[in-house]
Structure 1
Amino acid sequence: MESIIEILRQRVSQATVSAFGQDLANVDPLVVPATNPKFGDYQCNVALSLAKQLKQNPRAIATAIVEHLEVNDICQKPEIAGAGFINFKLKTSFIAQRLKIIYNDPRLGISLTKHPQKIIVDFSGPNIAKEMHVGHLRSTIIGDCIARILEFQGHDVLRLNHVGDWGTQFGMLIAYLREVYPEALTTADVLDIGDLVSFYKKAKIRFDEDPEFREKARQEVVKLQAGAEDSRRAWQLLCEQSRREFQVIYDLLDVKAEERGESFYNPFLPQIVAKLEEKGLITEDNGAKCVFLEGFTNKKGEPLPLIVQKSDGGYNYATTDLAALDYR
């Protein structure tokens, strides 16, 4: 079903051409919802935009357009207000007719788009080894709503769940579990998700306060990124447990999404650095590979680096985000 505003746009365009000639066939009719209900349901501002071109008073232009308007089946008689605004008030009989059509239409009167697109909706994005919180819930519901609307319109929607399943948090957690609960790194479901969250918080405290532990955690990240078998096994166990917990929530909400987390892009990280080097954008600073972007400075006004590869050979979230953008 064609929207009311689109019908009015077409009628105003036809009236404008009838009144002033074919040269104005491509002029935007500028029909919008009324800013105030006392002015009606829709208003048209095209007369003001044409005043300079036609060298006429906007009210005179509006009068000429109204004289050629054929909207009796839709609206009450259009009114000219102010400097030359044309106000439309819909007939109740027309509204009732539209509602009846919508009521009897399985698609509620919403037509499929004429120009379907491939659209990515990135939503939810919880972190592995942590419980979902209200922020994730909000993103999940909003993202699912957007995806459903776009799908209903006929677009090809790729629902992506960019979960936090990679990086420093795993280095911290694996390093800590090696010390206090090594069974959790080799056996499934030894701990529940609440215990993992508790251990993660303790690992974060150690990471912030203990330089030796911090280095161990960083080395675990490097091992994970390099594909060390024991690190990968521990990581997979943690991920699988979290996924099952997340799925309980998704099933309750009837939400579906394709998981494509940070780890998905790990194989592409060296390529990202290589591409940046090819373009001459990489600067080495204290062993780290950085990109310095114009306009990005610290509080002292000094250039602020975007680190894409750390001095120990590891990568960070910025590199992963660049890989995700490049892949998409």
Structure 2
Amino acid sequence: MSSSASPSPSSPATSLPAQLTARVQAVTGIDPEMRPATKPQFGHFQSNVAMRLAKSAGRPPREVAADLVAQLALDDLCEPLEIAGPGFINFRIKAEVLATTAAALIPDEHAGIVPSADPQRVVIDYSAPNVAKQMHVGHLRSTIIGDCFNRVLSALGHTVIPQNHIGDWGRQFGMLVEQILDEDLDPDTLDLEGAEQLYQRANAHLKADEDFATASRDRVVKLQAGDPETTAIWRKLINVSLAGFNATYARLNVLLTDADVAGESTYNDDLPIICDDLESRGIAQVDDGALVVFVEGSQTPAIIRNQRGGYGYTATDLAAIRHRVGDLESDRIIYVVGSPQQFHFEQVFAIARRAGYLPDEVAAQFVGFGQVLGADGKKFSTREGTAVPLNELLDEANTHAAPNIALAAIKYADLSSGLQKDYTFDAERMVQTTGDTGPYLQYAHARINQILRKAEAEADEAGTPAPGQAITVLDEPAEQQLALLLSRFGEVVAEVGDSLAPHKLCNYLYELAGAYSTFYEHCPVLRSEGEVRESRLGLCRAAKKVLGQGLYLLGIDAPERM
């Protein structure tokens, strides 16, 4: 990810590990670099901070460690500190602190996510399919990643403004409208697949018939001039396309709606204004008939208006930035676009900064992503080498699992590795309920629900209150590790909001599911009794809350049963 400004932190450190780190650092003056203890008898965390300080002070490490232990006032958080080996300090969070922290998650609607102390208006540019073309595999990642950012930043209390920058303008609409008129076709009878077939017929017609090509160019001029007949057909093509896009968005379970659409045509009236402004201030200049901006550090100039008077993507994106900052009053703009577009957006950001459209206090971030590869390691495409329609990819995944499980597999595979990496679409592997997969997390959630259902059925039969509303006893290491991990959820979500790295949330949830599995194996829940049973059911309820909320942020269904 490249960024031309850094966003402010989303929230203060709230997890128990973060609290511990902050308090130790306040005494030592350096990051204690807390590491999970290798064995339960060593506590929960170890630090070599005394050994590092001893080296610079020229003193024995254990002596420095003893001084630190005497200075650290952690009685409210930890058991008495221990010095181990050559000078390690062992930290064990008190069981009652772990219990209180985990118990607080049960009634918490947000499962420990702390709203940002500095809420912002955040524009996220994502998905952006083209009118009269079906969404294809290339739109999958932008849509899934952008939706995850939308959910995470909204959960952190920011005002998120999605912008679906659809391709609804350009020369292709001249040939599309002309083909409709040539065929005497009612555009209201088209669906998105039919519109794409129309595009293919029009393109072939354009190449084979010079008269048609001339008429198509003339039709573009009519569209730009607002000719009523041309404009009416163009709008119908957009409506047909939006209906198709929305059907796919529903299948993907993403939050985009028609209210989020702000296509290229939105900025038509601003393009000449942008050009005049940049040229009048000497930021842009005419070079070989084109209006260009020479960007510092770049050998290739950015073309604002070409030799024929047409406006390129740079002009449109500059107009979009000006609108998003000036009209939408954004504090942060995030572009979720394929990695090959990074150079283009670096130029756009640089020009926008120079022109004052993008003030220094507004963060502009390009979040690039890699390609979707087939099982053969090559770009995922049809036998003819064209992009696979997105609905076909979803259909193929559904042959291996139920739709909600197949979708979980796709989303988790997309989000769980670094975004800039390519990832392999192997539906059979991705839908497995074991290993680091989305369905594994769904299975963990369903298993927790099964335990709670049994406990609630027993309570109903006995006429007692619903069990698992409190956590009071955490004596076993597996219980404590699960509670400790649960406390980190809010901190992880805040980190994803800052870094825009959703794999960190995926990694956390996978670790959480593993910790729950260990707890389940070592700490009988329904077979335990009294306060221990109630406490373990409470821990199950807290884990369900966090796992369910985490899956929601990834856009993944959290099933009650599997």
| Aligned residue identity for 1:15 | V
Correspondence for 1:255: 255
How many corresponding residue pairs? 306
Aligned equivalents of 1:232 and 1:255: distance in 2? Answer: 29
> Cα distance 1:87–1:133, how it changes in 2: closer, same or farther (>3 A)?
farther
Aligned equivalents of 1:125 and 1:37: distance in 2? Answer: 47
Aligned partner of 1:283 among 263, 282, 285: 285
Correspondence for 1:30: 31
Q: Are the equivalent residues in 2 in contact too, given 1:47–1:61 (CA < 8 A)? A: yes
Aligned equivalents of 2:294 and 2:219: distance in 1? Answer: 28
> Cα distance 1:191–1:109, how it changes in 2: closer, same or farther (>3 A)?
closer
Aligned-partner SS, 1:99? helix
> Cα distance 1:176–1:46, how it changes in 2: closer, same or farther (>3 A)?
farther
Correspondence for 1:225: 224
Give deviations 1:7-64, integer Å, cap 9, x for gaps.
2134224534xxxxxxxxxx5x525563785687556676688779x85559465543
Correspondence for 1:148: 151
Correspondence for 1:316: 312
Aligned equivalents of 1:182 and 1:230: distance in 2? Answer: 13
Correspondence for 2:24: 12
Q: RMSD of the alignment, in Å?
A: 3.6
Aligned equivalents of 2:52 and 2:215: distance in 1? Answer: 67
Aligned-partner SS, 1:103? coil
Shifted more, 121-130 versus 277-286: the winner is: 277-286
Aligned partner of 1:161 among 164, 169, 176: 164
Aligned equivalents of 2:48 and 2:214: distance in 1? Answer: 65
Deviation for aligned residue 1:83? 9.1
> Cα distance 1:139–1:212, how it changes in 2: closer, same or farther (>3 A)?
same
Give deviations 1:180-223, integer Å, cap 9, x for gaps.
x3434xxx422221121112234345556777766654554444
| Aligned residue identity for 2:242 | R
1:177 maps to 2:180: yes
> Cα distance 1:170–1:110, how it changes in 2: closer, same or farther (>3 A)?
same
> Cα distance 1:151–1:46, how it changes in 2: closer, same or farther (>3 A)?
farther
Q: Relative contact order: is structure 1 or structure 2 higher (C-alpha 8 Å, sep ≥ 6)?
A: 2
Correspondence for 1:245: 244
Q: Are the equivalent residues in 2 in contact too, given 1:31–1:42 (CA < 8 A)? A: no
Q: Are the equivalent residues in 1 in contact too, given 2:46–2:90 (CA < 8 A)? A: yes
Aligned-partner SS, 2:134? coil
Shifted more, 149-158 versus 277-286: the winner is: 277-286
> Cα distance 1:58–1:163, how it changes in 2: closer, same or farther (>3 A)?
farther
Structural mapping, 1:121-140, within 5 Å: 121-140=124-143
Give deviations 1:279-325, integer Å, cap 9, x for gaps.
3133324432222334434xxxxxx3322112332212221111112
Deviation for aligned residue 1:272? 1.4
Q: Are the equivalent residues in 2 in contact too, given 1:283–1:289 (CA < 8 A)? A: yes
1:113 maps to 2:83: no
> Cα distance 1:235–1:93, how it changes in 2: closer, same or farther (>3 A)?
same
Aligned equivalents of 2:220 and 2:87: distance in 1? Answer: 67
Give TM-score scaled by structure 2 length. 0.47
Aligned equivalents of 2:174 and 2:45: distance in 1? Answer: 59
Deviation for aligned residue 1:82? 9.2
Q: Are the equivalent residues in 2 in contact too, given 1:163–1:259 (CA < 8 A)? A: yes
Deviation for aligned residue 1:93? 4.8
Aligned equivalents of 2:83 and 2:217: distance in 1? Answer: 71
Aligned-partner SS, 2:295? strand
Give deviations 1:56-101, integer Å, cap 9, x for gaps.
5594655433322233444455566899775545455543332222
1:267 maps to 2:269: yes
Deviation for aligned residue 1:269? 0.8
Q: Are the equivalent residues in 2 in contact too, given 1:51–1:61 (CA < 8 A)? A: yes
The structure having more radius of gyration, on CA atoms, is 1
Aligned-partner SS, 2:245? helix
Q: Are the equivalent residues in 2 in contact too, given 1:128–1:242 (CA < 8 A)? A: yes
Correspondence for 2:374: none
> Cα distance 1:92–1:168, how it changes in 2: closer, same or farther (>3 A)?
farther
Q: Are the equivalent residues in 1 in contact too, given 2:291–2:305 (CA < 8 A)? A: yes
Give 5+ residue unaligned stretches, structure 2.
1-12, 325-562
| Aligned residue identity for 1:155 | H
Deviation for aligned residue 1:166? 1.6
Q: Are the equivalent residues in 2 in contact too, given 1:126–1:163 (CA < 8 A)? A: yes
Deviation for aligned residue 1:267? 1.5
> Cα distance 1:172–1:43, how it changes in 2: closer, same or farther (>3 A)?
farther
Q: Are the equivalent residues in 2 in contact too, given 1:50–1:58 (CA < 8 A)? A: no
Correspondence for 1:194: 193
Aligned equivalents of 1:85 and 1:204: distance in 2? Answer: 71
Correspondence for 1:67: 70
Correspondence for 1:301: none
Q: Are the equivalent residues in 2 in contact too, given 1:225–1:314 (CA < 8 A)? A: no
Give TM-score scaled by structure 1 length. 0.76
Q: Which has the higher strand share?
A: 1
Give 5+ residue unaligned stretches, structure 1.
17-26, 298-303
1:100 maps to 2:103: yes
> Cα distance 1:109–1:312, how it changes in 2: closer, same or farther (>3 A)?
same
Aligned equivalents of 1:267 and 1:58: distance in 2? Answer: 73
Deviation for aligned residue 1:237? 0.9
